[in-house]
Amino acid sequence: MMAYNEEQFLMLSGLQHFVFCRRQWALIHIEQVWEDNVLTVEGNTLHEKADDPFVREKRGDTIYVRALPIHSYTLGINGICDMVEFTKTTKGITLANEDGQFAVKPIEYKRGAPKKHDADIAQLVAQVLCLEEMLQTTIDEAALYYHETRRREIVEITEEWRDKVTAMIKEMHQYYERKYTPRVKTGKHCKSCSLQHICLPELLNKESVLAYIDRMTRE
Amino acid sequence: MKRLLNIVYVSQSDVYLALNGKNLVLLKEGEELGKIPILNLEGICTFGHQGASPALMATCMEQNISLTFFSSSGRFRGRLTGAINGNVTLRKKQYEVSMDELESAAIARHMIVGKIYNAEQNLKRTIRDHALRVNTERLTQVVERLKQARKLAFSITSLEELRGIEGNAASAYFSVFDECILQQKEDFYYKGRSRRPPLDRVNALLSLAYSLLASETAAALEGVGLDAYVGFLHRDRPGRTSLALDIMEELRPVIAERFVLKLINRKQIQASDFIVKENGAVLLKDDARRSFFKLWQEAKQEQVTHPYLKEKIQWGLVPHVQALLLARFLRGDLDAYPPFLIR
């Protein structure tokens, strides 16, 4: 299987943008102009998280690891897991300096309430794929924790999701290589997009420039 | 659309700009003249020799506020820009196109078509609004010549030829520019362009308007991630914002020239607002320049429907929108560059 090198890694967190709108992702990650608006905000929140103890915290049978850097050479992505739980089990992986075997479960913390679209799940699945590759294990379920509802939603990592996320990341790499900003269908989601005034989504349905010049300059 | 923020114009030449907390502070001989929160600023234009503090410059660079330096006579000296916008992909495309004569000409000719068309509209407007006072026959003839030039320009694929057509059209247009001046004709007349220095009042006003427009256009281009120094029609020359001059072509008649004509025709500026130097240079007095800036800022707040986007925007955002459209064309969203055409 083809492997990416670190130079080619894309940001895992970009998957959320990609699911929301491929063009939004390209504007942020390929065109980079809007890095300041979006990514620095994300960077800041990441920074807050990085202030959390980067140490193993043990409670009962579970070890909690926060802000864990992750990557996958086969997918060519890297990012950070908010939290990974390692829970003692009978048939799991071994950890350095720990006795016994552990099951692995990533938890992603989200500010708002559960969303209608699948961006959060896609991001979580990508984290799972990274962890599986790094730890050489299989992860059957992971979780999303929503601040607003203060609830943990268990996400089953299905074959379907794995395939879907793998295909999406492949598509991301294809756009990135071509430095291509796709033109995509506009819709209601454009209204909630912070990049609307830069993307000019309505531009994609506009008359051609030549027709415009003709219309304006015709007698 | 992006929000139009304020630009502070510092017209007195002996004012020093400093930073105090989150405020721009204007100092004259150590005395504080005024204080303005940085938060709502898009740019600062300063005319004179006193300059600005490094702390203020650093803040401007950080917050993407353009700080532009003009000489006290209004000549553009330079502009402070922060860390270059990260849009490498867009810039590479821009450089690629700028090195390709055919692709450059395809963009430049739309700008020139826009320029000539907008000049036509200025003359037509004068004919329409003041038919009884102006030499309509002469104006109509020029409008006809401009129309021919514009149609020719539309098919040109060589930059050299395009410049030739543009030059001829400009001289035809300016040969009747004086007809558009309807008030205070003994004090305000146009007999040809003089730049360094401007030798009459109209030229002094035009120069100042072009300077402001050029710096605002350059800031708009940098704002969308383009390199204001690499043009398509204007060749590279160190220190010249060629792309800003390119985009300005189509904006000159509708933003700068209309503004100057309005100032004169509405008597918002008078002969006594100018001084004549020993070398014949005509300069605006400090007070008059201040009211010029005030009216310029006011004009920028007025609404216009963008002819291509069909969206209502403030006049002051027109350079920004054109920069955005150029960027989106270079990135492949549009079939060509849509110039700003006014009816």
> Over the range B164-178, which residues count as b (16 or more CB within 10 Å of their CB) and which as e?
ebbebbbebbbebbe
Inter-chain touch B89–A216, beta carbons under 8 Å: no
Confirm or reject contact between A198 and chain B (CB < 8 A): yes
If you write DSSP's letter for every residue of A2-32 in order, what string do you get? ----GGG-EETTHHHHHHH-HHHHHHHHTS-
User: What number is the average pLDDT over the span A8-26?
Assistant: 91
DSSP codes of every residue in B126-155:
HHHH-TTTS-HHHHHHHHHHHHHHHHHHTT
Split at pLDDT 50, 70, 90, the class of A52 is low
Tokens 């996958």 belong to residue: A72
Q: Which pair of structure tokens corresponds to residue A48?
A: 């807050």
- Residues A216 and A197: their CA atoms lie apart, in Å, by 24
Contacts of A24 in chain B (CB under 8 A): none
Residue A137 has pLDDT above 60, yes or no: yes
State residue A34's pLDDT score.
57
Decide if pLDDT at A161 tops 60: yes
pLDDT at position B72 over 80: no
Is the pLDDT reported for residue B187 higher than 90? no
Contacts of A202 in chain B (CB under 8 A): 309
Separation between Cα atoms, residue B149 and residue B114, nearest integer Å: 12
* Token reading at B96: 């690629």
| ipTM here | 0.78
Give the pLDDT score at A192: 78
Q: What percent of chain A has pLDDT over 90?
A: 46
Confidence of residue A211 (pLDDT cuts 50, 70, 90): very high
pLDDT tops 70 at residue B248 = yes
Where does residue B222 rank: exposed (0-12), middle (13-18), buried (19+ CB within 10 A)? buried
Residue B241, φ and ψ in degrees, nearest 5: -85, 80
**Is the alpha carbon torsion for A83, A89, A93, A94 positive or negative?**
positive
**Confidence check: pLDDT of A98 > 90:** no
Q: Which of A176, A146, A142 is nearest to A161 (CA)?
A: A142
Distance from the A113 Cα atom to the nearest Cα atom in chain B, whole angstroms? 29
Kindly determine whether residue B341 and residue A210, on different chains, have CB atoms separated by under 8 Å.
Answer: no
Confidence at A51, pLDDT banded by 50, 70, 90: very low
Alpha carbon B140 to its chain centroid, in Å, reads 27
CB–CB of B308 and A31 under 8 A? no
Helical H segments across B8-135, by residue range? 54-62, 88-98, 101-129
Q: Burial-class residue B7 by CB neighbours within 10 Å (0-12, 13-18, 19+).
A: buried
pLDDT single digits (tens) B99-132: 999 999 999 999 999 999 999 999 999 888 887 7
Q: Are B225 and B52 in contact (CB under 8 A)?
A: no
Q: Which chain B residues are within 8 Å of A30, Cβ to Cβ?
A: 89
B60-77: average pLDDT:
82
Better pLDDT: B11 or B14: B14
- Average pLDDT, rounded, for chain A: 85
> For B224-253, what is the mean pLDDT?
89
Per-residue pLDDT at A50: 47
Chain A residue closest in CA terms to B118:
A217
Spatial separation of the C-alpha atoms in residues B78 and B87, rounded to whole Å: 22
Length of chain B, please? Answer: 343
Of all residues in chain B, what percent carry a pLDDT higher than 70?
A: 98
Closest CA to B243 of B232, B251, B255: B232
The span from the CA of A214 to the CA of A16, in Å, is 41
Of A31, A208, A210, the CB nearest to B331: A31
Q: Which of B2, B3, B4, B90 to mutate to test the interface with A (most CBs of A within 10 A)?
A: B90
Give the closest residue to B114 by CA, choosing from A204, A207, A216, A206: A216
Q: Does A31 touch chain B (CB under 8 A)?
A: yes
* Minimum mean pLDDT range among A118-132, A194-208, B299-313: A194-208
